[in-house]
Structure 1
Amino acid sequence: MAIEYEPIKGHANDLAGSVYAREKHLSIDIDMGNAEKIQDDDDQKKLSQVAFQISAPNIANKGEESPLIPTSTSTHLPLHRQQPPQRLISLDVFRGLTIVLMILVDDVGGLLPAINHSPWNGLTLADYVMPFFLFIVGVSLGLTYKKVSCRVTATRKAILRALKLLILGLFLQGGFFHGLKNLTYGIDIEQMRLMGILQRIAIAYLVAALCEIWLKGDDHATSQLALLRKYQFQWLAASVLVVIYVSLLYGLYVPSWQYQIPDSTSFSEPKILSVKCGVRGDTGPACNVVGMIDRKILGIQHLYRKPVFVRTKQCSINSPDYGPLPSDAPTWCQAPFEPEGLLSSVMAAVTCLVGLYYGHIIVHFKDHIDRIRLWLIPSSAFLILGLALDIFGMHIIKALYTFSYMCVTAGAAGFLFAGIYLLVDIYGYRRMTSVLEWMGKHALIIYILAACNIIPIIIHGFYWKQPQNNILSLIGIGR
């Protein structure tokens, strides 16, 4: 979302003004200190060049004050041809493209199940949206915190931002706002959904931000090996998260469990259904560790009530689309399940850390070829590793955010980002991507309006005689 990429203090225009003032002040100081040595206009021109050279690095290394980065022009260009720092347009375009993809799969996924989220195993177009957002968050953090003046202050700001996202996620996705088929407002706090998309982004953002603030060296990386050495503790943190996730997913014992569903045919007590498990290392919908941890910690009443596995063959006669339950449907088909759960968010944070590495490449390498080469190498490795893991039994499952799923989607994000960077920041095709760039800069508000039912809610507020007689119902939406 756009929130993680905005400058921490002030706006870009304010930054530009302060930079101009600093350059002017610096050049005046140098002119005053060396006034006696200046003899002619040639010396003054040389002195102005020195002032620009001294002030330019200060602009590029603004650190947490701004995500602006220097353009990747050749260092051999004359000074008068060098351009001032610019925003990384390709990152905004990538974010905007992800927003478009999210809106597409939300609105068209019901009509085209092939692009909707995979019912369980496998990968579809919709399954790339969340990893792409997390990848973008990581890249943005690499630019925002490239130089931190005060780690304690930066940590406090990162925690506050994460809390804002968490609260916003609870408000938008906790159930307070009605859906297209439910015109009632409000939510029972005892049944409120606690996790969601923004909550997961907040967790991943906070983990990556703290790693970037506290776990990096002070030296400047001039080679790929030096880059890995500078951020070696961040890679160690990512490895620890992967080990924790894999160990819990395949090592914990999952006992049998029960849940209740309301009886829609009578006013009797809710039905109690039992799910038989008693296994380890199961990655199916019923007996996986991800669901067990969420049921134990969050409570089954606070989980998502329309999980994707209701579109599996076991649970839908219209699979991979929604449909009635088969006569021999297993008991777990009607159980709640949280797709943005606690354990799966651990692996989601690793995607954010991978994006952080791509942001480090932008900061430390100014040549276009170096950047693309250093992006494509890990992207290829992630893709190959993820596909190999899937072949050997660690399946690609978005609902569990498996390690293989993380690898494949992170590799795809790296390739797509490199392609957009080549198209937009190198070849300058900005006119054809201007809409995506605008959407990327306003991603959070677009997400709130388009993906959280805010616009439908506003439209539902205007009806004729009865709430069901609204504009959306007249055109066949929300019936």
Structure 2
Amino acid sequence: MPTPPPKSQRLISLDVFRGLTVGLMILVDDVGGVFPSINHSPWFGVTLADFVMPYFLFGVGVSVGLVFKKVPNRVDATKKVLLRTIKLFVLGVLLQGGYFHGSHDLTYGVNVRKIRWLGMLQRISLGYLFASMSEIWLVDNSAVESIMAFVKKYHFQWMVALIVCAVYMCLLYGLFVPDWTFERQCVTPSYNCSYTQTVHCGVRGSLDPPCNAVGFVDRVLLGLEHMYQHPLYIITEQCSVNSPDYGPLPPKAPYWCLAPFDPEGILSSLMVAITSFIGLHFGHVLLHVKDNLQRLVLWVVTSLSLVLAGYVLVLLGIPLSKPLYTLSYLCVTVGASGLLLGIMFFAVDVKEYQKETLVMQWMGMNALIVYSLATCEIFPSVVQGFYLGSPENNLVDGTEWVLQYCRSS
């Protein structure tokens, strides 16, 4: 009898995990505006949409652990990682920097003086860079034959991750945030004008929208014009009469409601690196633990411990906040990522429910393409081009009307 072909070593559950993440991103982007309960939390707290970014970053870490299990030449591997990071970062600037305007404004082009430098793909590229560099340069090539050998092999990675986390916490709570100003547009129908508005801070350790260290670092290093101009804190109770949905400003709304803030900022990206690093650790377990039950036990125990630690931190006064990427938010979302990957692994790779997840597999294997099309709103723009009688009678606007009707009912 002919020898059967060797079983594929590809981790199908990781593709399904990525595909589910992309699907979740499309869902919350298209439906979140109609159903605020699944949209991003305005500032504190966590909703379904707030798990998308950590899922992406966690998956990146797991992938890096599998790709760089053997590094024959560290210099060549570093060059490849740097090139891939640059490509991903530049693509992110193109997609989210303001060049594509979306289905409600079918134009393109951006003023380079106001281009947004940071975004979701840029953040993923930074997480990939950190995880890859630590896997290439901070791991020895010794075999893992015991728990102590496992610890010895990866202890430098953990030391660097703890240092990065400590730096973020020190800056978040110790950096002095001075008063700052921004240009505010006049609400005048007869002519356009702007004036300078001052936000009074002069504090340390504030986690509120106007005076936190994350926004301060971005204002200094990026400049207000290169930050995200429509931050979600516009739907907080202080800034919207319909909170947690969009609405007009309250009569005594604070000045900072209309100020820019980047949810993918520089300082918070330090914690992004930690998210990818924890995903890297899950990949290490997959490599060195051969028994599927032991893998699942280690993943579940680690994930539940992280979720528990996150809520303990909340009780200690560190709130959940995606814009700041607080330590509690990191623990809860990464723990949820590990649990979801464990479920996918058990269902897809252990029980081999693979035909049932073919769509998610395809989306996961082509995650960058699907993400790019969704980010540029190419899907709705193409559909919007077909209408009945007049351009307003198209499937996109009709679907939005139906969703709004369902919500009002």
TM-score, normalising length: structure 1: 0.79
For the residue of structure 1 that corresponds to 2:158, the secondary structure is: helix
For the 8 Å contact 1:106–1:451, the answer to whether it is kept is no
Unaligned runs of 5+ in 1: 1-79
> 2:315 aligned with 1:391, yes or no?
yes
Correspondence list, 1:190-339, <5 A: 190-265=113-188, 266-339=190-263
**Alignment partner for residue 108 of structure 1, among 16, 25, 31?**
31
Correspondence list, 1:398-477, <5 A: 398-459=322-383, 471=394, 475=398
For the 8 Å contact 1:459–1:470, the answer to whether it is kept is no
Amino acid at match of 1:351: T
- Give per-residue Cα distances to partners, 1:377-397, cap 9 Å, x unaligned: 221221111110011101110
Q: 1:134 to 1:477 in 2, by over 3 A?
A: same
Rounded Cα–Cα distance in structure 2 between residues aligned with 1:94 and 1:219: 30
Rounded Cα–Cα distance in structure 1 between residues aligned with 2:276 and 2:21: 15
Amino acid at match of 1:109: G
Rounded Cα–Cα distance in structure 2 between residues aligned with 1:226 and 1:267: 71
Shift of 1:226: 2.5
For the 8 Å contact 2:101–2:376, the answer to whether it is kept is no
Rounded Cα–Cα distance in structure 1 between residues aligned with 2:88 and 2:136: 19
> 2:29 aligned with 1:99, yes or no?
no
Shift of 1:128: 0.4
Amino acid at match of 1:269: C
For the 8 Å contact 2:63–2:280, the answer to whether it is kept is yes
Shift of 1:85: 4.0
Rounded Cα–Cα distance in structure 1 between residues aligned with 2:351 and 2:45: 35
Rounded Cα–Cα distance in structure 2 between residues aligned with 1:281 and 1:86: 48
For the 8 Å contact 2:380–2:396, the answer to whether it is kept is no
Shift of 1:475: 2.8
> 2:180 aligned with 1:180, yes or no?
no
Between Structure 1 and Structure 2, how many residues are aligned? Answer: 399
Percent of paired sites with the same residue: 50
**Which structure has more RCO (C-alpha within 8 Å, separation ≥ 6)?**
2
Rounded Cα–Cα distance in structure 1 between residues aligned with 2:222 and 2:108: 23
Amino acid at match of 2:318: M
Amino acid at match of 2:102: G
Unaligned runs of 5+ in 2: 402-409
My pick for the range that moved more, 469-478 or 265-274, is 469-478
For the residue of structure 2 that corresponds to 1:475, the secondary structure is: helix
Amino acid at match of 2:254: P
Alignment match, 2:62? 139
Correspondence list, 1:64-143, <5 A: 83-143=6-66
> 2:279 aligned with 1:355, yes or no?
yes
My pick for the range that moved more, 95-104 or 430-439, is 430-439
Q: 1:400 to 1:216 in 2, by over 3 A?
A: same
Structure number, greater radius of gyration: 1
Alignment match, 2:74? 151
**Alignment partner for residue 163 of structure 1, among 82, 86, 102?**
86
Amino acid at match of 2:332: V
For the 8 Å contact 1:222–1:365, the answer to whether it is kept is no
